[in-house]
Amino acid sequence: MATIIFYQKPGCATNARQMQALKAAGHHVIARDILKKPWRAEELRQFFGNTPVGSWFNRAARRIKSGEVNPDTSDAASALALMLSDPLLIKRPLINADGARCAGFDREPVLSLLGRSMQDDLGRCSREGTGRYCPSG
């Protein structure tokens, strides 16, 4: 089983469900606060691999939903700068599973770690579509 460093927003119900699924699959999960980590651009960039820049963003973030930030018009450098100044914009969770990294719960290595598809939709925000937001910070 893998040792997983799981960068989450504390208090996020979706992240809590995701961590529980990984633990239930037998993995050792180490939770870290994504908002308190002193990120560097090079380090953060490693979690996104070859995915499109727009997919790096947390589409449920208030600044994105309000239109203040448009992920689809950002290049890599500006996206990283935005995320370093406001970690709530980072797609969560950030996963480091024994050196394999990803952003989000709907791609590798997460799918292999769970040994199943995302049938129960653990990748979606549990507040999405409710009109409610998580508390900031």
To the query of whether residue 12 is one of the catalytic residues in this protein, the response is yes
Please name which of 104, 98, 12, 1 lies closest in space to residue 59, comparing C-alpha atoms.
104
The neighbour count for residue 17, using CB atoms within 10 Å, is 14
Q: What residues pair up with 94 in beta bridges, in sequence order?
A: 7, 103
Alpha-helical regions (H) of 3-95: 13-24, 41-45, 62-65, 76-85
* Nearest one of 112, 83, 87, 80 to 97, comparing CA atoms: 112
Q: Considering 12, 102, 125, 134, which one is annotated as catalytic?
A: 12
Q: Which residues are catalytic?
A: 12
